[in-house]
A and B are shown apart, each in its own frame.
Chain A
């Protein structure tokens, strides 16, 4: 059928991938290693060595204030895996990550599709849309706290008094809503990031494929589902992996709006780590929590990749 033909050619183009470099340049491994060396050096000195130090500290009980160290072996890890506060924080981390990723992904793809349209001033609009990404987290949170303020905020005023859509103001920072507010804030900030990456990939989609599908009578939804979506899927998956890692590690956008509250609702793992370090005063314990989270994120990432490869195989 005509549609299948179009889809097949799209698949073929996609599967061919970029022009592979191959090994036509001969071994030259020394050259390669020299090129990679500075990066590896920076990484080891600034990231890996401190991470190793932190790993070490997780086997001690370190009183925050006096820095007194006592070796406790795996006790910290036992504590972490047993304490309810850890699992609750992990649950909140999952809620936050899933919420943030789904909203950012869907909105990002949607906005990318919109920005792909042929209109005058297209570049200008795309530049504008980039703003929120370049705003520091503190400023973004400030702006939204100002908008969502229960006493002087414009959001509730518009919703209740001005447009009369709602009877009661939305308690943006109460349990049940505060995580929504946090997700909205980072949706606003990171939407451009997703949109522009997906847009870039969209621009490499050969227009003849779309035209051919149109001629063959495919509807907009069919065009999206069978041509566009598979084409952008690799980028979406890559971003999903990277951003999920980011979401689990993110502190600023989750802590600044509500300080971990109310009633701990925004206490995700990074916020919990801060609490352990400075409220309970045990740096070793805090390091152990961070290590456990690192392992979980690593497992999750590997699962992602495995799923991705399976999906790719099945597509081909």
Chain B
């Protein structure tokens, strides 16, 4: 066998092997979700289901109306992404283009706010939103999540914008566009890969966040997935089959997101030469 062939096979093994290892826990969840509870609570564990069943899924969704929580999570993830992007993009652009003391301090400010521990903020934020009448309101989470991901988004978006040559906007302005139009029509389209890459952080927090969601949302029809899942742990439910079904339900939609995003993600993260 030629050395090149061995090396190629080795390469494929390595790459797919690593991916397989990382996804192994998922594989186990998949297998577990299709076993009846009696088979799950058994030692030694069975590898492949002795008895394939979908009752975990049907019972879980029927009993908990989990699809409502999933829908809520999806909505807040989408809203947060739109809101956060709308706020972060202009700001990151400004921070990338202007380098005087004022803007440097603002950039510094965002780094420091990232250090504030969330637990410190939960109660005061809850109080504020409650007094605004947004107590058990799903949409109230959007500004909170926006604020939480803003520092991170700004940091990364800023590098992307910095990587886009100034000449483009200058050319547009020479052609008669004002500064905002130059930003909107010329710069933004260039930065789409970077924006998509940064957007994943916003999607993730909307979909997965626990602390603020659990504090503000109290009823089954407003809860997002993390508080909803947590609400039946402990005394209520340690029905492993249902929890495995829930875990799959939660990661399922992510497959779609990841498949769509991954090309843009890598391109986006690479497009801006990240400078610290």
Contacts and interface: CB of A to CB of B under 8 A. Distances in A.
Interface of A: 17-25, 28-29, 31-33, 35-36, 38-40, 42-43, 45-51, 53-54, 57, 111, 114-115, 117-119, 122-123, 125-139, 142-144, 146-147, 151-154, 157, 161-162, 188, 191-192, 196-197, 199-201, 203-204, 234-235, 237-238, 241-242, 245, 248-249, 251-252, 270, 273-274, 283, 287, 290-291, 293-294, 297-298, 301, 308
Interface in B101-143: 102-103, 106, 109-121, 123-125, 127-128, 143
Classify the secondary structure of A's interface with B: helix
A146 B146 CA distance: 33
B123 A43 contact: no
Given A115-B15, A119-B11, A136 B225 contact: yes
Contact of B250 (A117, A119, A123, A136): A136
B155 to A, nearest CB: 8
28 contacts: A24-B170, A28-B98, A31-B94, A31-B180, A35-B93, A36-B94, A38-B91, A42-B143, A42-B147, A46-B147, A47-B113, A51-B124, A119-B11, A123-B262, A130-B262, A135-B254, A136-B225, A143-B247, A146-B28, A146-B243, A146-B244, A152-B43, A204-B270, A245-B114, A290-B120, A293-B117, A298-B112, A308-B276
Interface string B8-31: 000110111011001101101100
Contacts of A122: 15
B18 A54 contact: no
B98 A29 contact: yes
B40 A152 contact: yes
Contacts, number: 299
Of A31, A191, A203, A298, which is in contact with the most chain B CB atoms at under 10 Å from its CB?
A31
A143 B28 CA distance: 9
Given A134-B254, A188-B25, 7 more contacts: A32-B97, A47-B121, A111-B18, A127-B258, A134-B257, A274-B119, A294-B116
Given A18-B275, A132-B22, A139 B121 contact: no
A138 B229 contact: yes
B259 interface: yes
A18 B166 CA distance: 11
Nearest to B97: A21
